[in-house]
Structure formats: structure tokens, C-alpha cells
Structure 1
Amino acid sequence: MAEINLSLVLDAITVVLDSVSPESSIYIDKVEQGLNDGDFLVRLINTDYLKRGTGELNRVVSSFDIIYFPKNGNKDCICMGDKLSESLSMIKLSTEDIIRAVEKSFEIVDSILHFRVSYNYNTIKYQNADNMGRISLNRGN
């Protein structure tokens, strides 16, 4: 298993969104100008780091709000919510690791879809090899 980070998870989500709706633009965190119907906005809601054991292993839970601006009202939102629920159940990272969604839900607010999904994964803090001391042997002649 490769080292997983938030950037890899976010990239994998955008790859899935592009496969679900290739004609849509995908924005991360904020939208400049020029947002069109059918576009996505992906926002990180929060990330929790949960220490596991006594070592450097952490369980990370990252939650996202994927906002979809529909072309054709609430029916389009419902269809897209179903598609996202299926396609974001498991995501494949660029490292070939696969992570599963632990929570998924969607709601429609003011004719805009808010699809919320959370993923958990483990991170390990590796020590640098430079931390080892130098050993010298003194031999009497």
C-alpha cells in the first residue's frame, strides 16, 4: 500500500466525476466566474485524524460535499445523486490503492444537489533514514 494523502483522494474523486459527466466542468473549493448548469463544485467539509495505537499510524476520515448544478431541475439532481452514490462507493487512487466510502448521502437544497461522501484511510509517518547514528568499532591491536 502506498502512502495515501488528501490530494490523492481529491484527484480520484474528480476522475470519477469526469467519467460520470465528461461534458461538465469540475471546480475545487471555489468557483471563479462562468459556472454553468451541469457543473460540479467539490468542497472538503472536514478531515479528522484519529491516532491508532502507540506508533505513527493514523486513521484519517475525510468528508466532501460534491455540489451539482443541474441542467433540468430536481429530477436531474435525483438521477445524478443515484449515479454518484454508485460510482463513488469505491475510488481508485493514482497509486492503484482502492478506498471505500464509509458514508454517503444526498439532499437537494434550492434545486441544487449536495452529495456528501466520506472516505477513511490509514496514514503512517515514516522516519527518515538519516535518524540512525553512526557506529564505529574500536579494535585493540
Structure 2
Amino acid sequence: MFSENLKNLRKQNGFSQEELATRLHVVRQTISKWEKNLSVPDADTLIRLAEILDVSVSELLGASVENEKSADDIAIQLSRINEQLAIKNRRSRRIWKVVGITLAVIVLLYVFMMVFFSAQYISDTDQNKQQIITEETVIIDD
């Protein structure tokens, strides 16, 4: 896949993320996102990246593109990669949403139980106090 190829080729050529970013006129975080498979470069940047790393675009993408000079072919490959990233991101967001809702429900149940049991405890304590007062009153009256 592109992200793994980019990282390996960058290291083989002895570039840091910062150095590669400077050559491409992007920020280091952009290179990091590409290597973490969070985004992909546009077609023009991909061509420049391949030239800097001295490899073909198809080698960088990890797939064969018949006519590497054709921006349309490169755009199609990038489109496929972007679709895969979008699917991965949607799954990730769904998972985090489910985790968040689950945690919220647990917290709400905990708060509800605390309120319910503290009200029960207060009620029991009040009854015990009244019983003690009643018993003291009976003892004093005798």
C-alpha cells in the first residue's frame, strides 16, 4: 500500500519527514498523515514525490499503472485509495460513537444508582432517628 511504500522509500533514500516535506513544499505533518494512511497526496504531488524518491508512481502506489504519465490513471488510483480511507474512517467513527454512547449510558446508570441508593439511605436514616426519638420519649415517659 502507498503508506508503507512511502515510508520505506523515504527511509531508503535517507530522508526525514521534515526533509521530504521541505522538498515537496508541504508541512511535516502532511508526510506523517500519508505514512499513517490518513490521507493521500493529489496527483501532481504524487508525481513530484515519485521523482524525489527516484521511483515510478506505480511503485510508490504499490500497483501497476499502465501509463504513468497519464494524470487520469494516477487520479483513478488516488481515488480508489481515498475511497478505502473514507471507508476506514467511517468504521472508526462508528466504533468511537458506540464506545462513547456505551460509556455515557454506564455513567448515567451509575449516577442514577447513586441518587437512588443515597435517597434510600437518607430515608432509612430518618426512620431510624424517628424510631430512636420515639423510644427515648417512651423511656422518659415511663
Relative to total residues, which structure has the larger strand share, 1 or 2?
Answer: 1
Relative to total residues, which structure has the larger helix share, 1 or 2?
Answer: 2
- State if a TM-score over 0.5 links the two structures: no
Name the larger-Rg structure.
2
TM, length-normalised to structure 1: 0.32
TM, length-normalised to structure 2: 0.32
The answer to which structure, 1 or 2, has the higher relative contact order (CA under 8 A, 6+ apart) is 1
